[in-house]
Structure 1
């Protein structure tokens, strides 16, 4: 009913007795909230050309998108924020993120940077995360949910890689969920300070490009007054 069709027609499409129109494929995908990349795959399966372009992020046509992201990242300082693509490669990051990555080995900081790998790698942020089991479980569950919606070999390879990482020596085993029951915090040891953040993720509304549909802006918000005081003191 929401797609303004009949059960009979939808059944015929499902069983292959009827070939859906391009408009019907797009309408069903929209009401089922199918990811934009998978909408193109559905169109191809139905015999149509892809509807949504996939423009490289460094293309001149994306200058407006890049500028908007840079403004958002700068406005969030001194708190950490970054933009990632559909496989968690870092597209842009602010000085708050660079602060957290300070001191990590060069091999992990060689482009393209991957946010999940940087977080969970035994030589990355993992040894500094005081509640690593909780945060690792959250990230792996997030990846698993995405894999249920997307046929992405790159994302599956990333999941298999990070899920196999050994637990680094010195990593914390704090259970901090009860400290901020409204959201699981990320608790990081940095330069002798215990920093606590909650994470928010923003995406573009009604994207018309595959690349744009997969961009995500993640902002880390201070979860306690101590983190606010420490980071505010670092502001130039």
Structure 2
């Protein structure tokens, strides 16, 4: 049997894909990039070849993730520009210091660092509460924070407001997959969407009341209920693929009872 030919996407195909994903017309992109719409059209059809500077400019205007900018450069015949270092690499010392300080400074409340696919990169001691009673197979590397949040044998089995939290997280995950083009997120979305929770009505819609501000995580913890909300932070103006994909999720008590429970030794 002959080898199956693998189609490699051209620069023009990738550019068109990102332009359409961002819902930007050729004319609008041309105006932002200070070129003619005809030139954008020629780039997409392969009738014109971009310079490296043009690839970088178009990628910037389309807010293409750094990982995918490298892919655009390679497709156009250039070497990747953005490095991808391991978090533990010596050059990443300043990044690790920042992460360690944020994680430690957020004690006694949980905080985690995740990558673009929501895999756990680092965590503080308080985040251990999310691992309690979780089967070993869910804690094998890479540990996925989204999977831990919704799996029936992990946090998904302890969330008292599972329906609304699940709907929010799945929506967030789907949108991230669409805007980033990351296939891993699409696959994770399909997996998490398939989870079954016996006896739980997932179609319950939460109608915000006048006092509502945030959707809390209402977690059963023994005879207590911990109510928490989260914030997510990223590094500004990153030039490394790994750094650009890191996110720091911090958990905060949504009421005084929860705050007191975490402060208790």
- Alignment TM-score, normalising by the size of structure 2: 0.80
Instruction: Tell me which structure has the larger Cα radius of gyration.
Output: 2
2:212 is matched with 181
CA distance 1:41–1:69, change in 2 (3 Å): same
Q: 3-state DSSP class of the match of 1:28?
A: helix
Q: 3-state DSSP class of the match of 2:185?
A: helix
Q: Deviations over 1:64-85 (max 9, x none)?
A: 2122111101101111110001
Q: Deviations over 1:98-122 (max 9, x none)?
A: 1232222222223321101111111
Counterpart CA distance in 2 for 1:95 and 1:170 is 31
Q: Structure 1: which 4+ aligned runs deviate by more than 4 Å?
A: 168-177
- Unaligned stretches of 5+ in structure 1? none
1:142 is matched with 172
Q: 3-state DSSP class of the match of 2:213?
A: coil
Q: CA deviation at 1:189?
A: 1.2
1:231 is matched with 262
Counterpart CA distance in 2 for 1:229 and 1:74 is 18
1:15 is matched with 45
1:203 is matched with 234
Pick from 52, 56, 61 the counterpart of residue 31 of structure 1: 61
Higher mean alpha-carbon deviation, 93-102 vs 131-140, is at: 93-102
**Does structure 2 retain, via aligned residues, the 8 Å contact 1:35–1:149?**
no
**Does structure 2 retain, via aligned residues, the 8 Å contact 1:130–1:174?**
no
Counterpart CA distance in 1 for 2:148 and 2:155 is 6
Counterpart CA distance in 1 for 2:153 and 2:75 is 43
Q: CA deviation at 1:175?
A: 4.4
Pick from 113, 124, 148 the counterpart of residue 154 of structure 2: 124
Alignment of 1:80-229 (within 5 A): 80-168=110-198, 175=206, 177-178=208-209, 181-229=212-260
Aligned residue pairs total 234
- Alignment TM-score, normalising by the size of structure 1: 0.89
Q: 3-state DSSP class of the match of 1:57?
A: coil
- Unaligned stretches of 5+ in structure 2? 1-30
Counterpart CA distance in 2 for 1:14 and 1:68 is 41
Q: Deviations over 1:149-170 (max 9, x none)?
A: 3343332322221111111567
Alignment of 1:57-68 (within 5 A): 57-68=87-98
Q: 3-state DSSP class of the match of 2:236?
A: coil
Counterpart CA distance in 2 for 1:102 and 1:207 is 34
